[in-house]
Structure 1
Amino acid sequence: MIIDSLQNAAKYYALHPNFQKAFEYVSQTDIANLEEGAFEISEGLKLIVIQGEGNTREESIKGFECHDKNIDIQILIQGPETYAWKPRRKCVNPNGEYSDERDVRFFHDKPDMFFELQEKQFAILFPEDVHAAMIGEGFLKKLVFKVRIS
Structure 2
Amino acid sequence: MIVDSLHNASKYYSLHPNFKKAFDYVNQNDISQLEDGAIEIGEGLKLIAISGQGSTKEESIKGFECHDKNIDIQISIQGPETFAWKPREKCVNPNGTYSDERDVRFFHDKPDTFFELQEKQFAILFPEDVHSAMIGEGALRKIVIKVAV
User: What TM-score do the two structures reach when normalised by structure 1?
Assistant: 0.99
Q: Output the amino acid matched with 2:21.
A: K
1:43-122 to 2 correspondences below 5 Å: 43-122=43-122
Q: Which secondary structure does the structure 1 equivalent of 2:95 belong to?
A: coil
Shift of 1:133: 0.2
Distance (Å, rounded) in 2 between the aligned partners of 1:82 and 1:143: 14
Q: Which secondary structure does the structure 1 equivalent of 2:99 belong to?
A: coil
Distance (Å, rounded) in 1 between the aligned partners of 2:145 and 2:8: 17
Q: Which runs of 5+ in 1 are unaligned?
A: none
Q: Output the amino acid matched with 1:18.
A: N
Residues 106-150 of structure 1 deviation map (CA, whole Å, 9 limit, x = unaligned): 00000000000000000000000000000000000001000000x
Distance (Å, rounded) in 2 between the aligned partners of 1:134 and 1:17: 28
Q: Which secondary structure does the structure 1 equivalent of 2:18 belong to?
A: helix
User: What TM-score do the two structures reach when normalised by structure 2?
Assistant: 0.99
Who is 1:34 aligned against?
Answer: 34
Distance (Å, rounded) in 1 between the aligned partners of 2:32 and 2:96: 35
Who is 1:9 aligned against?
Answer: 9
Shift of 1:32: 1.0
The percent identity for this pair of structures is: 80
Shift of 1:17: 1.1
Q: Output the amino acid matched with 2:126.
A: F
Who is 1:24 aligned against?
Answer: 24
Moved over 6 A (4+): none
CA RMSD of aligned residues (A): 0.4
Residues 86-105 of structure 1 deviation map (CA, whole Å, 9 limit, x = unaligned): 00000000000000000000
Q: Which secondary structure does the structure 2 equivalent of 1:17 belong to?
A: coil
Q: Output the amino acid matched with 1:53.
A: Q
Distance (Å, rounded) in 2 between the aligned partners of 1:23 and 1:49: 15
Who is 1:128 aligned against?
Answer: 128
